[in-house]
């Protein structure tokens, strides 16, 4: 980072990846400041930790900074037209992308990286939770807030390992030097960046070539990556319900809990009767990947078992906020068709007799356009769908791409509605009352990667206060 640097300024400090870096440098004693457009629970937490944040696009703060002792860390989510960005660039401040800075930090230790279109946040957080209290130990830069630790940064000065979520957006993960990596999936996404599905997969192929020691890949995508591995790389596969180098079998549900056995390479017997701390079907797969890496770096059988059973999940990954005999309310970050499918499948498995109302906030006009038919097919598996307006994030609107357009593609057998954020909690309360009056028990799921999470507390209140 350079010995002359004493200040780190973060453009987009409220982002989940940026905030972990901000916390890292603050913990190391540096002066840390930043800009974010919108206050959030995360930015408030950073401020409580002593990080100074501005919410106005005003250059007066950065005008006081010394360009020779300040490093600016930026994310593509902050437009280059921002006044603060323009000032910093015009005045010669050194600017680095978040991924570059993370790459430099992680090269100081052995990086255990988790990449993939889906599952990387839960898998990396689970891996961190297995290793951090174990005799191996681990630092971690996470892509979500751990429900066990209530942070996205774990520090362990005694450990040689650092767990990293390897983000494919903007080819960020090409800046990493993985010691060991998991690749969970390669379903095309971010086509606004990559252009084609093939370019997206090629980006993962390049990432796989950066792995130093061992690559652990989900079995059904292994054939696309195995030719890229050569000594000294070791190549492993993982799976659920079918044989691989690492796999789970003997899966069973008992009184709302999921149990399974875990098999490792060249061992005569499995680790039996592992209980999944967050009983969501897709977490079996995530836990197998996490345990595989933990096993490779020396975690013991008991440490694996204890880590998986005490894992409390990640904020906005299948978080259950209400769970009564009449209604269950779940909030989830799912924003890609495959992620929505996994979430809905888990709900159907856990609550097979419930009436399921899904609320979806599409994220990005380009993603909605590129996967509209897939979104419609998956959402048609619900009993009822409430669509919110598309969350634009970094994008300008695309003509004809709207939630109304997407709704028309959902099968007519599904009850459908367009709902504005301001009335969503009240709307769900009225729908729940109607369903209960008709004798139905209900699951409500809110899904999306935009700002739908800001509605969770009010929705929780509306679904629990004197419904009938």
- Where is average pLDDT lowest: 115-129, 222-236, 400-414? 222-236
What is the residue-averaged pLDDT of the chain? 92
Neighbouring CB atoms inside 10 A of 383's CB total 16
- Say yes or no to pLDDT of 170 above 90: no
Do 260 and 138 reside in the same domain of the chain?
yes
Query: Are 281 and 223 contained in the same domain?
Result: yes
Asked if the model's pLDDT at residue 67 lies above 60, the reply is: yes
125 found inside a domain: yes
The residue from 289, 310, 331 where one domain ends is 310
Residue 135 tokens read as 């005799």
Token couple for 286: 């995530």
Residues 259-270 have pLDDT tens digits of 999 999 988 899
**Percent of the chain at pLDDT exceeding 90:** 74
User: Is there a domain that residue 2 lies in?
Assistant: no
Residue 393 shares a structural domain with residue 256: no
| Same domain, residue pair 116 and 249 | yes
Q: What is the pLDDT of residue 281?
A: 86
Residue 229 pLDDT exceeds 70: no
CATH number, domain containing residue 244 = 3.40.1190.10
Among candidate residues 219, 343, 357, the one with its CA nearest the CA of residue 281: 343
CATH number of the domain to which 64 belongs: 3.40.50.720
d(CA 342, CA 337): 9
pLDDT band for position 256 (cuts 50, 70, 90): confident
| Higher-scoring residue by pLDDT: 83, 233 | 83
Within this chain, do residues 73 and 120 fall inside the same structural domain, yes or no? no
The answer to the question of residue 467 being in a domain is: no
Query: Does residue 343 lie in a domain region?
Result: yes
Claim to verify: residue 136 and residue 211 sit in the same structural domain: yes
pLDDT of residue 226: 59
Q: What is the CB neighbour count within 10 angstroms for residue 12?
A: 21
Is the domain of 84 the same as that of 115? no
Check residue 231 and give its pLDDT.
45
pLDDT of residue 346: 87
Say if residue 291 is in the same domain as residue 161. yes
Instruction: For residue range 347-401, list pLDDT tens digits in order.
Output: 998 899 999 999 999 999 999 999 999 999 999 999 999 999 999 987 899 999 9
What is the per-residue pLDDT for 228?
53
387 lies in the same domain as 436:
yes
Q: Which of 74, 97, 120 is at the close of a domain?
A: 97
Mean pLDDT of 241-248: 96
Kindly state whether residue 36 falls inside one of the protein's structural domains. yes
Residue 396 · residue 371 · CB < 8 Å: no
Question: Taking residues 24-35, what's their average pLDDT?
Answer: 95
For 409-429, write each residue's pLDDT tens digit. 999 999 999 999 999 999 999
The residue out of 310, 328, 362 marking a domain boundary is 310
Q: Beta partners for 236?
A: 216
If one counts the domains in the chain, the total is 3
For the chain, percent of residues with pLDDT exceeding 70 = 97
Full domain range(s) for residue 20: 7-97
Of the candidates 24, 72, 71, the one whose C-alpha atom is nearest the C-alpha of residue 51 is: 24
Q: Examine residue 18 and state whether it is found in any structural domain, yes or no.
A: yes
Residues 270 and 410 in one domain: no
Q: Are 127 and 87 in the same domain? A: no
418 and 293, same domain (yes or no): no
**pLDDT tens digits along 424-445:** 999 999 999 999 999 999 999 9
Report the alpha-carbon angle 257-333-382, nearest 5: 70
Q: What is the pLDDT of residue 199?
A: 87
1 occurs within a structural domain:
no
Please report, for residues 51, 52, 109, 427, the alpha-carbon distance to residue 8 in angstroms, rounded to integers and kept in the order given. Answer: 10, 11, 21, 44
Asked if residue 259 belongs to a domain, the reply is yes
Mean pLDDT of the region 299-307: 97
Residues 6 or more apart whose Cβ sits within 8 Å of residue 131: 112, 137, 138, 159, 161, 163, 294, 297, 299, 307
Q: At what angle do helices 282-296 and 120-131 cross, to 10 degrees?
A: 50
| pLDDT for the residue 260 | 97
């Amino acid at each position: 980072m350079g010995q002359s640097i004493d200040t780190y300024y973060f453009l987009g400090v409220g982002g989940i990846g940026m905030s972990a870096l901000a916390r890292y440098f603050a913990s190391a004693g540096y002066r840390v400041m930043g800009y974010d457009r919108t206050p959030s629970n995360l930015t408030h937490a950073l401020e409580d930790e002593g990080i100074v944040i501005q919410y106005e696009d005003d250059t007066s703060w950065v005008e006081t900074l010394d360009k020779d002792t300040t490093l600016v860390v930026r994310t593509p989510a902050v437009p280059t037209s921002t006044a603060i960005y323009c000032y910093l660039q015009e005045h010669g401040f050194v600017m680095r992308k978040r991924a570059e800075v993370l790459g430099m930090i992680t090269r100081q230790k052995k990086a255990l990286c988790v990449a993939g279109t889906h599952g990387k946040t839960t898998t990396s957080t689970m891996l961190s939770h297995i290793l951090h209290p174990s005799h191996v130990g681990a630092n971690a830069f996470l892509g979500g807030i751990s429900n066990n630790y209530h942070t996205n940064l774990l520090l362990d000065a005694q450990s040689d390992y650092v767990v990293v979520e390897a983000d494919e957006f903007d080819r960020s993960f090409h800046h990493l030097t993985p010691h060991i990596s998991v690749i969970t999936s390669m379903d095309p996404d971010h086509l606004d960046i990559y252009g084609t599905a093939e370019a997206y997969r090629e980006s993962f192929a390049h990432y796989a070539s950066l792995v130093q020691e061992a690559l652990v890949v989900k079995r059904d995508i292994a054939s696309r990556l195995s030719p890229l591995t050569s000594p000294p790389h070791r190549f492993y596969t993982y799976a659920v319900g079918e044989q691989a180098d690492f796999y789970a079998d003997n899966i069973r549900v008992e009184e709302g809990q999921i149990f399974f056995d875990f098999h490792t390479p060249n061992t005569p017997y499995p680790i039996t009767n592992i209980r999944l701390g967050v009983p969501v079907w897709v977490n079996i797969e995530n836990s197998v990947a996490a345990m595989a890496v933990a096993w490779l770096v020396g975690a013991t059988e008991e440490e694996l078992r204890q880590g998986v059973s005490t894992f409390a999940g990640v904020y906005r990954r299948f978080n259950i906020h209400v769970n009564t005999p009449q209604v269950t309310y779940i909030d989830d970050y799912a924003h890609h068709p495959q992620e929505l499918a996994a979430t809905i499948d888990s709900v159907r498995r856990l609550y097979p007799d419930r009436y399921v109302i899904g609320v979806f906030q599409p994220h990005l006009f380009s993603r909605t356009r590129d996967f509209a038919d897939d979104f419609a097919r998956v959402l048609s598996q619900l009993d009822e769908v409430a669509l919110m307006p598309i969350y634009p994030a970094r994008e300008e609107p695309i003509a004809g791409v709207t939630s109304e357009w997407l709704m028309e593609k959902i099968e007519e057998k599904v009850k459908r509605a367009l709902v504005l954020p301001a009335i969503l909690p009240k709307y769900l309360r009225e729908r729940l009352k109607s369903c209960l009056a008709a004798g139905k028990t209900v699951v409500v799921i809110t899904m999306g990667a935009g700002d739908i999470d800001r509605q969770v507390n009010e929705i929780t209140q509306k679904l629990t206060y004197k419904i009938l």
